[in-house]
């Protein structure tokens, strides 16, 4: 096979398994002149844009976006959407707006709520929940998001905060002697000073948007609360961190005993210790768990977290507690909330689980597929005479992005929670003809059509095949990167040269040394700068990652691998200023560096 543009050929890379081979040409540039857009091309003025210039601008935009789509590797979005144009272009002729609650018709009739409900029902059943039924508290309610899972996380935390603060539930009905549609707070709980002060816990690998959400909601992290009220009592020792440490790598050596070397999942032992500290003081607890939604595509062990925390919750009266209101009336509700940010993983992992359980797919996962959904229950046994063990449903809410695994022309998604957790809206706009139970007022009515159309065209067999394909492409990318690494070691006659190749078990993303800016731009790679060892600037690594979504092919990976063998593909002596640490929520001086300069894609 001959070389093209000075790149080492596929045959050349294959031969690096046996012997060092150096490409014949040394002048190749991996990313030739790329399409770019300028602001001037799209300048708008009072006279509009002449037709010829407008068409030229749109053609340039289409060419630019198609080029970027055809090389996409760096973000968890599905770019295979050709069918949508054929099926759905007719709906561009109208303004579809799903204003108000998806389970109420509302006053605006140009809506797609039947499709929205169908999508919600589909995922509710996929996640082992009970489809929505008015008045059935254990059934699942949700709505279509106009943003991605970021909006779902924000709404879930708002719901969790108000629920744990004791504000009125939508299902309260006549059980409380208060005015309809009033947004009320509970009476102070005698002898329980912190009964309505929820504290939130999430890992240091959690998506960056989560910190924004809880700041908007003024939800205190355990770290902020600890520094304010218990400055010398951190149960982990030392200073209070803002975030729960992530897990260490499964096999640790003397140089890698830090979470930055780990898979990106939450450290369950440390989470339990921290939650117990606050639960014993009477604080209600919010825990966010990630499910394939971080830079490392990690899956927090929702089962292990639930089984460990149920004892903490039960021993401290958080499984069921009385909430009393002025004027009479009380309710029983739990004192904890577990949310799953399933922006990416909740869309395909159920199908991977199906593949693992059916031999016809020939798929054997390297580790067990972790549970994460509404079917997960944990048992609490108080050990007291006469008290029977109780089974508790643990997951309160799940958020999913529609533009990631399924694919959509714009950000979208769904949030699903349960009827028994729904809060009374703080107000009511009568003119919309529906309860205002969603975060946005106007909501995108086109997104439910897109998600419905995807699901209609993808029966389980096809979904399973796509999920297994992504796993195999991720494994193939690891193999190709190792070949690239060997190529560079042979070329530089340095067996210690490291591309920092890593993949979390079951992840569809692979991490590696950041290549040059041209390659980063060509493949839209997401990059981070990470200090692997705290306070050690010599441990700084500049990393990138590639996602193997369902549209990723071996050909695209092969082309990418060849680009990584260009003469200037990597700067092995790169020195870049250290990123500034993330500010603390109490605006204090940070005591430790944040491992990431960035945390992924919404």
**Distance from C-alpha of 409 to C-alpha of 390, rounded to nearest angstrom:** 45
| Torsion angle of C-alpha atoms 79, 84, 89, 95, degrees rounded to 10 | -80
* pLDDT tens-digit series, residues 481-491: 999 999 999 99
- Pick the closest to residue 298 from 245, 349, 345 (CA basis): 345
Out of 1.20.1420, 3.30.70, 3.40.640, 1.10.510, which CATH number does the structure's domain 149-401 have? 3.40.640
pLDDT at 550 exceeding the cut of 60: yes
pTM of the model: 0.85
- Name the most confidently modeled range: 33-37, 198-202, 430-434: 198-202
pLDDT of residue 24: 36
- Asked if residue 598 lies in contact with residue 296, where contact means CB atoms within 8 angstroms, the answer is no
pLDDT of residue 62: 83
pLDDT of residue 582: 47
pLDDT at 512 exceeding the cut of 50: yes
- Name the most confidently modeled range: 290-294, 308-312, 437-441, 578-582: 308-312
Q: Show Cβ contacts of residue 287 under 8 Å, excluding neighbours closer than 6 positions.
A: 200, 201, 202, 271, 275, 305, 309, 336, 337, 338, 339
pLDDT of residue 581: 46
pLDDT of residue 123: 96
* pLDDT tens-digit series, residues 268-304: 999 999 999 999 999 999 999 999 967 899 999 999 9
More confident residue, 155 or 169: 155
pLDDT of residue 77: 66
Q: Give alpha helix (H) positions in 442-510.
A: 447-457, 460-492
Kindly state the percentage of the chain with pLDDT values over 90. Answer: 53
Average pLDDT over residues 309-320: 97
Q: What Rg value do the Cα atoms of the chain yield, rounded?
A: 26
pLDDT of residue 600: 43
Question: Comparing 167-176, 357-366, 404-413, 528-537, which segment has the lowest mean pLDDT?
Answer: 167-176
Question: Comparing 184-188, 296-300, 374-378, which segment has the lowest mean pLDDT?
Answer: 184-188
More confident residue, 590 or 201: 201
Average pLDDT over residues 392-412: 92
594 — pLDDT class (breaks 50, 70, 90) = very low
Neighbours of 313 (CB within 10 A): 25
pLDDT at 567 exceeding the cut of 80: yes
Q: Give alpha helix (H) positions in 16-112.
A: 51-70, 82-88
Instruction: Write down the mean pLDDT value for the chain.
Output: 84
Average pLDDT over residues 69-86: 69
pLDDT of residue 66: 81
Kindly state the percentage of the chain with pLDDT values over 70. Answer: 83
Average pLDDT over residues 234-244: 95
- Name the most confidently modeled range: 200-209, 299-308, 586-595: 299-308
Question: Comparing 3-17, 118-132, 490-504, which segment has the lowest mean pLDDT?
Answer: 3-17
**Distance from C-alpha of 205 to C-alpha of 294, rounded to nearest angstrom:** 6
pLDDT at 593 exceeding the cut of 80: no
Question: Comparing 27-31, 279-283, 290-294, 444-448, which segment has the lowest mean pLDDT?
Answer: 27-31
pLDDT at 430 exceeding the cut of 70: no
* pLDDT tens-digit series, residues 537-548: 889 999 999 999
pLDDT at 584 exceeding the cut of 90: no
75 — pLDDT class (breaks 50, 70, 90) = low
Average pLDDT over residues 366-377: 96
pLDDT of residue 431: 56
- Asked if residue 509 lies in contact with residue 543, where contact means CB atoms within 8 angstroms, the answer is no
19 — pLDDT class (breaks 50, 70, 90) = very low
More confident residue, 175 or 555: 555
**Distance from C-alpha of 18 to C-alpha of 77, rounded to nearest angstrom:** 37
**Distance from C-alpha of 246 to C-alpha of 260, rounded to nearest angstrom:** 8
pLDDT of residue 177: 43
Going from N- to C-terminal start, the domains of the chain cover: 10-29+50-58+463-563, 149-401
255 — pLDDT class (breaks 50, 70, 90) = low
Average pLDDT over residues 86-95: 82
- Asked if residue 554 lies in contact with residue 563, where contact means CB atoms within 8 angstroms, the answer is no
Q: How many CA atoms lie within 13 A of 385 on its CB side?
A: 0
Inter-CA distances, 509 with 3, 295, 344, 522, 548, Å: 28, 8, 11, 18, 6
pLDDT at 70 exceeding the cut of 80: no
CATH, domain range 10-29+50-58+463-563: 3.90.1150
pLDDT of residue 208: 83
């Amino acid at each position: 096979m001959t070389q093209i543009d000075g790149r080492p050929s596929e045959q050349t890379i294959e031969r690096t398994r046996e012997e060092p081979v150096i490409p014949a040409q040394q002048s190749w540039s991996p990313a030739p002149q790329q399409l770019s857009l300028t602001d001037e091309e799209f300048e708008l003025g009072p006279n509009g844009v002449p037709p010829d210039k407008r068409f030229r601008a749109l053609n340039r935009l289409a060419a630019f976006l198609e080029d970027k789509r055809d090389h996409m590797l760096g973000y968890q979005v599905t770019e295979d959407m050709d069918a949508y144009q054929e099926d759905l272009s007719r709906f561009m002729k109208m303004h579809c707006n799903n204003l108000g609650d998806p389970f109420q018709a509302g006053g605006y009739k140009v809506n797609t709520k039947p499709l929205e409900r169908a999508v919600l029902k589909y995922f509710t059943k996929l996640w082992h929940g009970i489809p929505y039924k008015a008045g059935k508290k254990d059934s699942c309610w949700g709505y279509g998001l106009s943003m991605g899972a970021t909006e779902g996380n924000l709404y879930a935390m708002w719901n969790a905060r108000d629920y744990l603060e004791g504000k009125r539930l939508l299902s309260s009905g006549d059980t409380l002697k208060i005015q309809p549609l009033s947004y009320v707070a509970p009476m102070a709980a005698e002898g329980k000073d912190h009964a309505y002060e929820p504290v939130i816990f999430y890992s240091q690998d959690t998506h960056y948007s989560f910190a924004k959400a809880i700041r908007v909601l003024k939800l205190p992290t355990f770290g902020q609360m600890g520094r304010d009220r218990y400055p010398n009592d951190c149960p982990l020792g030392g200073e209070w961190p803002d975030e729960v440490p992530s897990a260490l790598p499964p096999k640790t050596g003397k140089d890698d005993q830090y979470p930055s070397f780990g898979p990106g999942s939450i450290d369950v032992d440390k989470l339990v210790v921290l939650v117990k500290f606050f639960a014993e003081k009477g604080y209600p607890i919010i825990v966010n768990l990630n499910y394939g939604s971080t830079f490392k595509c990690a899956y927090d062990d929702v089962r292990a977290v639930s089984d460990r925390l149920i004892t903490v919750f039960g021993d401290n009266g958080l499984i069921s507690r009385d909430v009393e209101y002025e004027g009479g009336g009380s309710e029983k509700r739990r004192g904890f909330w577990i949310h799953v940010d399933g922006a990416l993983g909740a869309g395909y992992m159920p199908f991977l689980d199906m593949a693992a359980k059916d031999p016809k797919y020939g798929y054997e996962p390297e580790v067990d597929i972790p549970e994460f959904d509404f079917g997960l229950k944990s048992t609490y046994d108080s050990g007291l005479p006469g008290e029977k063990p109780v089974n508790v449903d643990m997951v309160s809410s799940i958020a999913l992005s529609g533009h990631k695994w399924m694919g959509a022309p714009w950000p979208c998604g769904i949030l699903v929670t349960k009827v028994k957790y729904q809060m009374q809206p703080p107000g009511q706009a009568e003119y919309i003809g529906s309860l205002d139970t969603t975060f946005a007022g106007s909501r995108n009515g086109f997104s439910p059509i897109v998600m419905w159309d995807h699901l209609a065209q993808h029966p389980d067999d096809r979904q399973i095949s796509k999920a297994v394909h992504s796993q195999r492409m991720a494994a193939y990318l690891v193999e190709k990167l190792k070949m690239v690494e060997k190529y560079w070691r042979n070329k530089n006659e340095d067996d210690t040269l490291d591309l920092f190749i890593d993949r979390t078990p079951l992840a569809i993303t692979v991490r590696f040394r950041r290549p040059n800016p041209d390659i980063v731009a060509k493949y839209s790679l997401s990059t981070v700068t990470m200090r692997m060892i705290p306070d050690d600037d010599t441990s700084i690594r500049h990393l990138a990652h590639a996602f193997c979504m369902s549209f990723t092919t071996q050909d695209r990976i092969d082309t990418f691998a060849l680009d990584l063998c260009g003469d200037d593909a990597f700067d092995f002596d790169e020195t870049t200023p250290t990123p500034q640490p993330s500010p603390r929520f109490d605006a204090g001086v940070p005591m430790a560096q944040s491992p990431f300069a960035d945390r992924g894609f919404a």
